[in-house]
Amino acid sequence: MSGLFITIEGIECVGKSTNAKFISQYLQKKKIKSHISREPGGTKVGEKIRNILLFENQESISPTAELMLLFAARDSHINEVIKPKLSQGTWVICDRFTDASFAYQGYGRELGFDAVNSIKQMVLKDFEPNLTLLLDAPLHVIKSRRKLNPDDRFESEKDEFFNRIRSGYLEMAKKYKKRIKVIDASRPIKEVQIDIKEQLNELIRL
């Protein structure tokens, strides 16, 4: 595959979608074609699952069912969008990917690393991002920027849930140091984007 796969991770409101656009614009200046996507989502099936997971608050969804739905959406996303784009030489920038399942369901919902990893191995096999940017900031910084959405199943969770997720992300970053690069997202956006450019330049030099 001639295109490269970049994922952006982090808890709510750290600037993932903003920086996905920044990355796309930066690659465009370098004459590199890119495609922005998101998870859950990216395909018709994925977007339907996204709506179920985020906004269907009337019915409870167990942590295991939540995990299965996410990987169902991810399987569709990988095979219908990500791999075809990469094979065409397009760089894919994805707002969340499998690391989010480890952080949110493995750590946040406390299903554990092994439960998530077993499904990951079945769906992804050896497919991994070339680079993962983990935008990290403490929850109090996030809350100072904007209120979390009470109608969103995830954003309406308690602080303990988000603190477990952040700890999970940082544990994943220690485990996969070569792929996951932690960026301090509590700083001004221009400083964050300087660090992002440095990581992109490392990829472009490959």
pLDDT tens digits, 110-163 = 999 999 999 999 999 999 999 999 999 999 888 887 777 777 778 778 899 999
For residue 73, what pLDDT is reported?
A: 98
Q: Phi and psi dihedrals of 198, rounded to 5?
A: -60, -45
Q: What is the mean pLDDT of residues 73-89?
A: 97
If phi > 0 it is left, if psi is from -120 to 50 it is alpha, else beta; for residue 90 that is: beta
Which residue, among 130, 150, 146, has the nearest Cα to 3 in the 3D structure? 130
CA distances from 162 to 11, 62, 118, 140, 175 (A): 7, 18, 23, 11, 20
Angstrom distances, CA of residue 200 to CA of 76, 79, 132: 27, 25, 11
- Which DSSP string do the residues of 157-186 spell out, in sequence order? S-HHHHHHHHHHHHHHHHHTTTTEEEEETT
Averaged pLDDT, 149-178: 90
Q: Which of 147 and 2 is assigned the larger pLDDT? A: 2
Distance CA 89, CA 69 (A): 29
φ/ψ of 73, rounded to 5, equals -65, -40
pLDDT score for 157: 86
d(CA 141, CA 161): 16
- What is the Cα Rg of the chain in Å? 16
What average pLDDT does the structure give for the chain? 94
Distance CA(120)–CA(129), nearest Å, equals: 13
Residue 105 reports pLDDT greater than 60:
yes
Question: Before 63, cis peptide (omega within 30)?
Answer: no
- Given a cut of 60, is residue 1 above it in pLDDT? no
pLDDT tens-place string over residues 30-72: 999 999 999 999 999 999 999 999 887 667 899 999 999 999 9
pLDDT of residue 151: 73
C-alpha closest to that of 168 among 87, 89, 105: 105
DSSP SS3 for 132: strand
Distance CA 109, CA 66 (A): 10
Q: Per the CATH hierarchy, to which homologous superfamily does domain 5-204 belong?
A: P-loop containing nucleotide triphosphate hydrolases (3.40.50.300)
Task: Choose among 7, 84, 29: nearest CA to 201.
Answer: 29
User: Model pTM?
Assistant: 0.94
Question: Three-class SS of residue 91?
Answer: strand
pLDDT tier, 2 (very low <50, low <70, confident <90, very high otherwise): confident
Q: What is the mean pLDDT of residues 180-196?
A: 97
What's the pLDDT at 153? 75
Residue-level pLDDT at 206: 64
Please give the average per-residue pLDDT across 80-105, as a whole number. 98
